[in-house]
Amino acid sequence: MEDIRFTLDHCVKCNICTSMCPVSRVTPLFPGPKYAGPQAQRLRYGPSTDRSVDFCSGCGICSQVCPHGVKIAEINAKARHTMYQECGIPLRNQIIARPDVLGRLASPAAPVINLAMRLPGVRRAMEAILHIHHAAPMPSFSFETFPAWFRNRRQQIPSLRNPSSNHGTTSGATTPDETVVYYHGCATHFYEPRIGKAAIKVLERNGYQVIVPEQGCCGLPLMSNGNFEAARQVVRFNVARLLPYARQGLPIVATSSSCSLMLKREVREILDMQDDDTALVSAHLYDICEFLLIRLAMGQLDIAFQPIPLRVPYHAPCQLRGHGFGKPALELLQLIPELETIEMSAACCGTAGTYGYKQEKYSIAMAVGEELFSAIHSTNPHLSACDSETCRWQIVHGTGLPSVHPIELLAAAYQ
């Protein structure tokens, strides 16, 4: 594949990307995607002279709206990487880029750490030392991790169909028609096992045997914090674990639309991982709602949903939109009687992964999210839905209301 940076040739300077950029519009610190992307790229060679590209949040909206196929966000990501190679990656970026490591360290002591994190002094200290904004929406660690729950729950079931039972654990009490592999990612692993539980419930209800292989962080936080080499390492780790299933043609389903986009596309376009193994894993990866919508089209989705008499504002995260398949959650949630799903028109919640955690970017992230927060409030002051974890945390933080993954609504409707 050609280096995506050469897509700069397609830019006609129409500025549609800049007009749609949620960040540039609220801060002059980021001059805009066209500026940082195809425009500045013509002047880049050798040592980086960039500064402002650090304020690109990486939401990817620019690439989605470009009518001419310029891979703007991807050009920016590469420029940011080059810049960090010159000036070094801040310690803060290195820490927040490793949710898996943090999770492994913190989960055993989750109650203590969660409590500590709620103490204002601790967060102020983190801001002073690490430049992580004291108000940024840090999730709580779960005492029981999702894989632990999954193992405990299915200990008695032999993993008959598990092709790689050394590494994976399998679910499915019935005789399933098919088997799927579940990539839960760090958020479900350490912070929100409830989403994994909902996913298992929905998949099993539809007759799938679910394999949960050993897995690591998808690498997106490392990549967006400028550490490409470390990101490639964790991707290679995941590819090695997932490859045996992909080789058998098993679909790999993910509940985080950010992790799945990372493993589907960013590995190839931004990290330049062009090998066949990675491509095979990418080709078998599905966002869970994408997967279920395809089943629906094939008449293979159990649509005996119970009514949920609710009005739910739904925000499709930027990363989900980046998949290019639309908003499958909207169509799935329509199947639930009495559930009224209201699509939010605001572009972005602002946090863009770890961007909003950073001291110097927190207020930008909040300003970006403002439109979404107020729209959610005026739609339903009780609950919202969104497919990506950091977006949900930001929405919870910005609205003060709980936010769920669409799969949780589907699971709830399968009573």
**Residue ranges in contact with other proteins by CB under 8 A:** 2-3, 6, 8-16, 18-20, 24-25, 28, 31-32, 34-35, 39-52, 63-69, 249, 251, 260-261, 264-265, 282-286, 290, 293-294, 296-298, 321-326, 328, 331, 345
Inter-residue contact 33 to 56 (CB < 8 Å) = yes
- 347, two tokens: 């572009």
Separation between Cα atoms, residue 362 and residue 359, nearest integer Å: 6
- In terms of CB distance, is 122 or 330 closer to other proteins? 330
- In terms of CB distance, is 101 or 294 closer to other proteins? 294
**Smallest separation, CB 283 to other proteins (Å):** 6
**Smallest separation, CB 168 to other proteins (Å):** 20
**Smallest separation, CB 7 to other proteins (Å):** 10
Token pair 């040739």 is at which residue? 9
- 91, two tokens: 């310690």
**Smallest separation, CB 273 to other proteins (Å):** 13
**Smallest separation, CB 315 to other proteins (Å):** 16
Separation between Cα atoms, residue 272 and residue 269, nearest integer Å: 5
Report which of 328, 320, 325, 381 is spatially closest to residue 347, judged by C-alpha positions. 320
**Smallest separation, CB 52 to other proteins (Å):** 6
Inter-residue contact 62 to 20 (CB < 8 Å) = yes
Can you spell out the DSSP letters for 332-397?
HHTTSTTEEEEE------S-TTTGGGBTTTHHHHHHHHHHHHHHHHHH-SS-EEES-HHHHHHHHH
- In terms of CB distance, is 105 or 303 closer to other proteins? 303
- In terms of CB distance, is 169 or 215 closer to other proteins? 215
- In terms of CB distance, is 196 or 322 closer to other proteins? 322
Phi, psi of 226 (to 5 degrees): 90, 5
- In terms of CB distance, is 251 or 350 closer to other proteins? 251
